[in-house]
Chain A
Amino acid sequence: MRAGANLARTGMLIAGFALLYGPILLLVIYSFNASRLVTVWGGFSTRWYAALLQDAQLIASVRTSLLVALFSAVIATFNGTLAAIALARFGRFRTRTIFAGAIYAPLVMPEVILGLSLLLLFVALGIERGLWTIVAAHATFTMCFVTVVVQSRLAGFDRALEEAAMDLGAGPARTFLTITLPLIRPAIVAGFLLALTLSLDDLVIASFTAGPGSTTLPMRVYSQVRLGVSPEINAISTLMLAVVGIALLFFAALSRGHGD
């Protein structure tokens, strides 16, 4: 019986990972196909990658995406961390319910609603849409993810450490800087990376809040995809997957190094 259970488990694992990684793997393989047709293998080629380098619009969109992600993640991390401290440490304060509600709501709210409401705000305020409106929109919807990550860390460590520092005469600012901040730093870094990833990946909110001169990479890919499958998109996809894959391996190695 034991052997049978093991066999079933192995089979399930193989099937599960095949489902998860199969489609991604196919994209990577076909990005090296010399033929334009999916069903014909025309031999190995890197011509589609060479074509990408000539695509000035694509390169501009990569730049826009990186800038938006960086700025919005910094703002979201700052706001999200402060909000986490408020929720984890300040107990009941006036309008806490509204504050908490506004923080958690974007976690589950459909992106179309967030995008639509922010666009209406920018129109009402007469703000010209562009890079900075996307930054503001992304900072708003990624902030809640930072808060959740940091708050769980704050809830997880021993408050006696903070109390001891206070008893020994450290002021609140000093206690925060020497005790709390180092303890929650991993969570802040994780929150920042999450915000960065979510911003880089977002299509819907960016489409609502972008202006004519600020197209992000997902927007660019989306407009290409709508025209149909093409080897160029496979090549962009493979590059994007490679960047994420390398980053994940890097952090896995890093966290393993810490564990030892």
Chain B
Amino acid sequence: MRPASKARSRRNWLVIAVPYGWLLLFFLAPFALVLKISLSQSALSLPPYAPVFDWSDDFRAIVEKLQALSFESFAGFFNDSLYVDSYVSSVVIAAIATLLTLVVAYPFALAIARSSPKVRTILIGLAIAPFWTSFLIRVYAWITILKDEGLLNHFLMRIGLIDAPLGIFATNTAIVIGIVYSYLPFMLLPLYAAIEGQDQALLEAAADLGASPWRAFLRITLPLSMRGIIAGSLLVFIPAVGEFVIPDLLGGSDTLMIGRTLWNDFFVNRDWPAASAAAIVLLILLVGPLLVYERVQLRDEKVRA
């Protein structure tokens, strides 16, 4: 290495050192710990797990312990229907909610993107603004609306559309409504970006060639916005799977979602190894969609370059 580039390399590491050190301590080390605790046995102590590795272990002890590693938490996982059910129902609820968010957001994003350029920026700003307000409060607002003695039921009964409350509150339907509402801005923004950037001349050309507006939409606008659809769907689906606040506030006591199961294992049952194992499996579950996301982004970068 030439001295100049060596000096530069040293300088570069000086810049990286602080954020890198921070991430090592507060992000990578904790993960190693989660992995470790997920492999230990639960115990009635504080902290409530029997340590697996010690700093004082010599090599032989480590080998012995490796042989005795407890996969109990993971095995318990697949035997315990609570977890399997939690995962399945988390993924199903998140998938339904993502689809619905897309259905609600698409025409909305389209309407914003097709407004005049001056109005457009203001409208998208207004549509994103709720993102800056408290998530908790936005979810809470739906309790007032959905519960049996809430506004929606009161209103529908007043106008005589129903005789008894709908009973949406504390069901999976309420969770889906909560997710659609809370994550709408995450879907809107990538959709808007994908639609707004399209060349309007394409639609005019399609119309000139005799395509109906609906056909032009299906053949031009929709395929061209596919990138926005994928990005938006992942931005909604991934956090929705691990969501805690929405199922906790809007769901019923029988609602199973993995974020909530993990929380209860941790805070209520105090079974730390089980919670850690749940976290690891959740992570593995999300790696798939993440890889898709990365590939979409890589393709984007290539297209731009």
A residues contacting B by CB (< 8 A) are: 1, 5, 8-10, 12-13, 15-17, 19-21, 23-24, 26-27, 30, 37-39, 75, 78-80, 82-83, 85-86, 90, 93, 98-99, 102-103, 105-106, 108-113, 116-118, 120-121, 123-124, 136-137, 139-140, 143, 172, 197, 200-201, 203-204, 208, 218, 221-222, 225-226, 229, 233-234, 237, 240-241, 244-245, 247-248, 252
Instruction: Contact check, A103 vs B34: say whether CB atoms are below 8 A apart.
Output: no
Instruction: Contact check, A79 vs B30: say whether CB atoms are below 8 A apart.
Output: no
Instruction: Contact check, B34 vs A172: say whether CB atoms are below 8 A apart.
Output: no
**In the complex, what's the smallest C-beta–C-beta distance from A87 to chain B, in angstroms?**
10
Q: Provided the pairs A13-B123, A102-B28 are in contact, do residues A218 and B136 lie with their beta carbons within 8 angstroms?
A: yes
- Of all chain B residues, the one with the shortest Cβ separation from A217 is B134
**Contacts of B251-305 to chain A: CB distance below 8 A:** 259, 262-263, 266, 272, 275-276, 279, 282-283, 286, 290, 293
**In the complex, what's the smallest C-beta–C-beta distance from A86 to chain B, in angstroms?**
5
Instruction: Contact check, B249 vs A12: say whether CB atoms are below 8 A apart.
Output: no
Instruction: Contact check, A120 vs B30: say whether CB atoms are below 8 A apart.
Output: yes
**In the complex, what's the smallest C-beta–C-beta distance from B87 to chain A, in angstroms?**
12
**In the complex, what's the smallest C-beta–C-beta distance from A249 to chain B, in angstroms?**
10
- Of all chain A residues, the one with the shortest Cβ separation from B153 is A39
Residues of B within 8 A of A80 (CB): 19
| Selected contact of B114 from candidates A9, A17, A124, CB within 8 Å | A9
Q: Provided the pairs A13-B111, A108-B286, A112-B259 are in contact, do residues A23 and B33 lie with their beta carbons within 8 angstroms?
A: no
A113-B282, A121-B30 known; 19 other A-B pairs, CB under 8 Å?
A16-B112, A38-B144, A86-B15, A90-B15, A98-B28, A99-B23, A108-B290, A112-B244, A116-B266, A118-B26, A121-B25, A124-B33, A124-B47, A139-B22, A140-B27, A143-B23, A221-B140, A237-B141, A248-B129
B29 within 8 A of A: yes
Instruction: Contact check, A39 vs B154: say whether CB atoms are below 8 A apart.
Output: yes
Q: Provided the pairs A82-B15, A201-B135 are in contact, do residues A1 and B239 lie with their beta carbons within 8 angstroms?
A: no
Instruction: Contact check, B138 vs A82: say whether CB atoms are below 8 A apart.
Output: no
A201 to B182, CA, bound (A): 13
Instruction: Contact check, B129 vs A108: say whether CB atoms are below 8 A apart.
Output: no
Instruction: Contact check, A240 vs B279: say whether CB atoms are below 8 A apart.
Output: no
Instruction: Contact check, B29 vs A121: say whether CB atoms are below 8 A apart.
Output: yes
**In the complex, what's the smallest C-beta–C-beta distance from B268 to chain A, in angstroms?**
13
A26 to B134, CA, bound (A): 15
Instruction: Contact check, A17 vs B127: say whether CB atoms are below 8 A apart.
Output: yes
**In the complex, what's the smallest C-beta–C-beta distance from A149 to chain B, in angstroms?**
14
**In the complex, what's the smallest C-beta–C-beta distance from B71 to chain A, in angstroms?**
19
A213 to B272, CA, bound (A): 23
- Of all chain A residues, the one with the shortest Cβ separation from B47 is A123
Residues of B within 8 A of A12 (CB): 107-108, 110-111
Instruction: Contact check, B244 vs A27: say whether CB atoms are below 8 A apart.
Output: no
Instruction: Contact check, B262 vs A9: say whether CB atoms are below 8 A apart.
Output: no
B16 within 8 A of A: yes
